[in-house]
Structure 1
Amino acid sequence: MPLTSSQIDQVVDLVYATAEVLGQEIRPAAAGLIAEDLSAYPFAEIGRGLARCRAELHGKLTLAAIIERLPSANAHLSGNEAWALALHSTDEQETVVWTSEIARAFAAAKPVLSGGDKVGARMSFLAAYERGLAAAKAEARQPEWMVSLGHDPQRREIVLTDAVSAGKLPAPKVAHLLPPPDKPVSEEGKRQRKRVVSHLRDLINKPGEEGARQRREAREQEEVRRRELLEQAGAPLAAMGGR
């Protein structure tokens, strides 16, 4: 949101004061131009940027020095960061969240990359990206993040969730691209789940119980057979003792 005329007047005063602290005289026309060029940035950021200039600069106050200290003016990825991100788009499984500047620069470099010249493709990308970045900064345009969807649903969820957490994308904008949240389980659902778990437990334990029963019956039969054999062996001895 552009600054109001009152805020621009305050920025002019801050520019005068900052230049004076740095031992510099600045003309009214120059201070007005600096304030006008800064009017596309948040007022609070401009105040903090000028405060950093007073604390950090040892030379003259310049527009470039102020903009360098404005977070929103430096929200775009660097060339190397943008190139690394763009390379992910070559994998059709990967979901990529990038800006129009990155997408256009990669479109220019892709034919070179497809020809197998990765170094040449990177140089082509960086040149195109720097041109796009210079235009965006000249117009004080913030990065406009957009989504290039990949086929892997799990990677898609991770990338989009990270983008929302980083403030690159609003949650409502990507809600339809994410799997629906788990619905709460109803009381009837909980009871049904409990019955299923109980039934599965019975099925798991049944073979063990059946095996134990069979072993117990086998031992009992073995004991009965042993007693029968002892009785049979004892009968002839008793008869011999009778003679």
Structure 2
Amino acid sequence: MPHPETLQFGTVTVPLIWRASPRTRRVSLRLDPKKQALLITYPPTYPLQHILDFLQKQQKWIIARFEKLKSQSFSFLDGNTIPIAGKLYTIQHQPQGRGGAWLDGDTLIVTGQSDFIARRVTDFLKHHARILLTEELRHIAQAANLTPSKVDIRDTASRWGSCNSAGRIMLSWRLVMAPHPVRHYIIAHELAHLKHMNHSANFWSYTDTLTPHRKQAEAWLKLYGTSLLSAQ
């Protein structure tokens, strides 16, 4: 029996992504904001019918999460409004212009063919993120006398940041769309891992010495984080 590509709950169609993992012992569900789909992780030998039965039992949760994801999603298209560093800008396409994309007052000007608007907006945001996030991280790190070995700005499916044992910090470029308290908290969170490579009580205590925004940022990300992860 092949794995279905979608799940139908009444009028709601949910795309599915199947991921067999030998490291998991149970079925887990997570929405992938970028792909607008339900990610199903399962043991390789787990019977498909048991997974399908489990999905039916979880249909209320799946529908609620999927509809919330769809309602919060926004696209990088002409006339749409997007947040940059917590401020709203309207995308304005100028097909005859040159220069890619730039900010002009409350407008993000995007030039060239209409087929490439989303890509050029994304390129602009990634470039802006490298400048803004790197500078903000440098400022917080210097104030705390912390020195990461390297800083990467990347695109991830669900993580806002990470820090490995070598002191290399990764931040999602999508943070450039979040307001300052959220960026400050995420950066402080990853920098705190330079002292505590875990999520112990000592880690959280140290994180709170680096930023006053933890509760505010966590509440904001719970409400709006998915919309940033799904924007494209």
**Common fold by TM > 0.5:** no
| Structure with larger RCO (C-alpha < 8 A, sep 6+) | 2
TM-score range, shorter chain: under 0.3
- TM-score, length-normalised on structure 2? 0.26
Determine which structure has the larger strand proportion and give its number: 2
